[in-house]
Amino acid sequence: MLQRFRPIVLLAAGVSLASCQETPLAPTDVAPRHDPVVISLAPEPLYAVASSGVSFVADGEVREYAYRTSFDLILRAHSDNEIGVMLTSDSVVLQQLQSVPVEGPGGGVDRETYRFEARSGEDRIEANEETSRAFDVWYTLPNGGREALIAVSLDFVDDNGTPFSQVHQVAVEPLPGP
């Protein structure tokens, strides 16, 4: 009886061994992935100046923000994608740079306090075209300094209906000395 199953067992073993053979992977043409939108900053480097006329409430007291900075983000739809995008929202998070000691009085707040306004030309960006988004940011830091890191989050949807987000970090540097 074993003689009858021997050809079947040998055939199954041969198929099994053949499937274990390594086959080299064929090279694939994978295009490099690009961010759908290329983001750049103007001006660069970015500095803050003393603020006036814009206030906030802390501990029941009205105070003016210590500093203001203004910048533009230049948004260019990447030409390799060949589709346009629509900017749907933006937000800003400002952080004090922890490694920057500041001598003298602090900012009178126990956390980063800030406000931003965004202005733009067009929210729609065609492939290989650009627009800009202008930001004004007023802030006061716990350490009283002006050096900060601003993370700007931008939400988009492309012409295929695919939503995506990009974050661009902007460093606010100290004013150059005299």
Strand locations in 43-159, DSSP E?
46-47, 49-50, 55-58, 61-64, 67-77, 85-96, 113-120, 124-125, 130-140, 148-158
What is the pLDDT at residue 32?
41
51 in Cβ contact with 99 (< 8 Å): no
What is the pLDDT at residue 110?
83
How many of the other CB atoms lie within 10 Å of CB of 164?
13
Domains in the chain with CATH codes: 25-173 (2.60.40.10)
What is the pLDDT at residue 82?
80
What is the pLDDT at residue 175?
82
What is the pLDDT at residue 100?
54
How many of the other CB atoms lie within 10 Å of CB of 154?
21
Average pLDDT, the chain: 81
What is the pLDDT at residue 101?
56
How many of the other CB atoms lie within 10 Å of CB of 114?
19
What is the pLDDT at residue 37?
92
What is the pLDDT at residue 29?
45
pTM: 0.74
What is the pLDDT at residue 18?
46
What is the pLDDT at residue 169?
96
What is the pLDDT at residue 161?
93
Q: Which regions of the chain are under pLDDT 50?
A: 1-2, 5-32, 103-104
